[in-house]
Structure 1
Amino acid sequence: MIRGIRGATTVKANEETEIIQATKAVLEDIAKQNNVVPDQIASILISVTHDLNATFPAKALRLIDGWKYVPVMCTLEIPVPNSLPRCIRIMVTTNTNKKQEDIQHIYHHDAKQLRPDLVK
């Protein structure tokens, strides 16, 4: 079964190191909380708000052992007025036997307000 696992985080500043580290932390939590290994991942889509352009957050994957060949793409979020600033959103599409209600979606920092119903 193919499932999507959502994740998001925010950063305090538009700085390369902070963007990469925040993205890496969410990806690692997604993998750990859902028992996902790189070979199970079909692809990852990462979006950022318009105020984040210091780097590609996809660089974070290359810092995680075994994730070298995981397909990843970055894109811009829709610039909705009054939306959460400095936000990185992640969608991991993976093969899993888990039911949708058993998927652990991961939200860090201010991104927890995006889906309080999914934050545990």
Structure 2
Amino acid sequence: MAVRAVRGAVQVGTNTRDDILEGSAELVTAMLERNDLVADDIISIVFTATPDLTADFPAYAARLLGLTDVPLLSAVEIAVPGSLPRTVRLLAHVETLHTRAELRHPYLRGAASLRRDLPQ
């Protein structure tokens, strides 16, 4: 079994608790489903949010999904001028039999524009 990293992002509609938690949960769920992963496969997840998202922690959405014993971290993304607003990103470290080429990195909603080279 190898340790791999899975990336992903989602753009949320507004800086509200509900939108941040809903978008973050959608992102985590897509990452798990697209890569045939379960909670026990996850080593850790680092979430970042653009500076315009302050209403809640993206990691809290993962807790609500049942990832209660997975180390999680929320941080602020660098405020690059012209970057995509209202975006939550994740970097998950997982144990998997999948090769790097087989991993599916979910870029959802408006965040799909960040990685047009990846299949959605």
TM-score band by shorter chain is: over 0.9
Deviation at 1:40, TM superposition (A): 1.2
Map 1:10-25 onto structure 2 (within 5 A): 10-25=11-26
DSSP-derived class of the 2:6 partner: strand
Deviation at 1:119, TM superposition (A): 3.1
User: Which residue does 2:65 correspond to in 1?
Assistant: 64
RMSD: 0.9
1:52-98 per-position Cα deviation (integer Å, ceiling 9, x unaligned): 00111111012213x11111001111111100000000111100111
Q: Find runs of 4+ consecutive structure 1 residues off by over 3 angstroms.
A: none
User: Which residue does 1:112 correspond to in 2?
Assistant: 112
DSSP-derived class of the 1:61 partner: helix
TM normalised by structure 2 equals 0.95
Q: Distance in 1 between matches of 2:90 and 2:15?
A: 17
Map 1:35-114 onto structure 2 (within 5 A): 35-65=36-66, 67-114=67-114
Q: Distance in 2 between matches of 1:82 and 1:62?
A: 31
Aligned-pair identity in percent equals 35
- Which consecutive residues of structure 2, in runs of 5 or more, have no partner in the other structure? none
Matched residues, number? 119
- Which consecutive residues of structure 1, in runs of 5 or more, have no partner in the other structure? none
Which AA in structure 1 matches 2:61? A
Q: Distance in 2 between matches of 1:63 and 1:38?
A: 13
DSSP-derived class of the 1:82 partner: coil
